[in-house]
Amino acid sequence: MLQSDHQSRQTSPISVVIPTLNGERTLEHFFAALKRQHLQPIEILVADSSSTDRTVEICRSFGAEIFVIPRMEFDHGGTRTRMAEQAKGEIVVFFTQDAILATRDALGLLVAPLQKNEVACSYGRQLPNKDATPVAAHLRLFNYPPQSSLRTYEDRGQYGLKTIFISNSFAAYRKEPLAAAGYFKNGLIFGEDTCTLGRILAAGYGVAYVGEAAVYHSHNYSLGEELRRSFDIGVLHSREKWLLDTYGNAEGVGVHYVRSALDTLFREKHVLLVPDCLLRSVMKLIGYKLGRAYTKIPATWLPTLSMNRLWWQRYK
């Protein structure tokens, strides 16, 4: 268990980085929760993709430094890299605009493992929102269990592709090893955090999963969104073949998830949701297979199959 002793240590200064786009629905809740933290960042950096609502106004009212970029210039990796390079903190914590800190010590707990030189990054637990469906709630439990853990490159034989699972919705990085790994790769359709973690682990560092540090963050995806999200994962794995060559394939993780989801639905007496769960699993598999074979699909179809439609206008 990675229960921290951060209260008795001098914590390195941290910078918070948040990409935003029309986030007024959640940002006031986000900043209110951040302001209540026992551990406070030395700065909040916001990369806003030309929002048309009150996003910039809200961020500025909470003291954030705003960098507005054209929407077409946003890149999952490149934008985060530019912000991390400007960050003054020794630790950079990444959020998404809809990840709401669950407790007042969540931020401190997240960064505590980074006081150890051998740990380069950490990520916290994501709890389902109040409106999460049973299927969405189970996905959060499957990916983010209550037990903390520490993974290294040597664990890839046991965990396979899950070895490099991480989420920049709520993750912290020591800036020195992050910079040594080249920050986040520009031009990825998805998974900039996973690719960077793969390089960090290969360099000999560890990643801490901190189950005691949590945010509320979940999505009730439609069937089409399930397919499109999985399609983008397939595209990533097709373009970044080294991930699978180094850490293993993704199909085993999917089978494990389906079995776990069905067991949970039966145990919690949500039997009527079983067909929906199975259909979602089929859509994910189809999406992933299509993504792996995206070069064989007519170019005009690709944006429709993807969650990140603007990406196809910039990269082919």
pLDDT of res. 185: 96
pLDDT of res. 36: 98
Last residue of one domain, picked from the residues 216, 248, 266:
216
Q: Is residue 298 part of a domain?
A: yes
Same domain, 293 and 229: yes
Per-residue pLDDT reduced to its tens digit, 44-81: 999 999 999 999 999 999 999 999 999 999 999 999 99
Same domain, 203 and 79: yes
pLDDT of res. 158: 92
Same domain, 48 and 156: yes
Contacts of 76 (CB under 8 A, 6+ apart): 184, 188, 189, 190, 191, 192
Same domain, 45 and 157: yes
Same domain, 26 and 154: yes
Range with lowest mean pLDDT among 5-19, 119-133, 284-298: 5-19
pLDDT of res. 151: 98
Q: Is residue 234 part of a domain?
A: yes
pLDDT above 70 covers what percent of the chain?
A: 96
pLDDT of res. 3: 38
C-alpha to C-alpha distance for 46 and 86, rounded to whole angstroms: 11
CA 174 to chain centre: 17
- Across the chain, what does the average pLDDT equal? 94
Q: Show the domain range for 170.
A: 6-216
Same domain, 242 and 170: no
Q: Is residue 59 part of a domain?
A: yes
Contacts of 40 (CB under 8 A, 6+ apart): none
| Average pLDDT rounded to a whole number, residues 165-188 | 97
Last residue of one domain, picked from the residues 164, 186, 216:
216
pLDDT of res. 7: 38
Same domain, 57 and 146: yes
Structural domain tally of the chain? 2
Same domain, 205 and 76: yes
Angle at CA of residue 123, ends 127 and 163, nearest 5°? 105
Q: Is residue 1 part of a domain?
A: no
Last residue of one domain, picked from the residues 164, 182, 216:
216
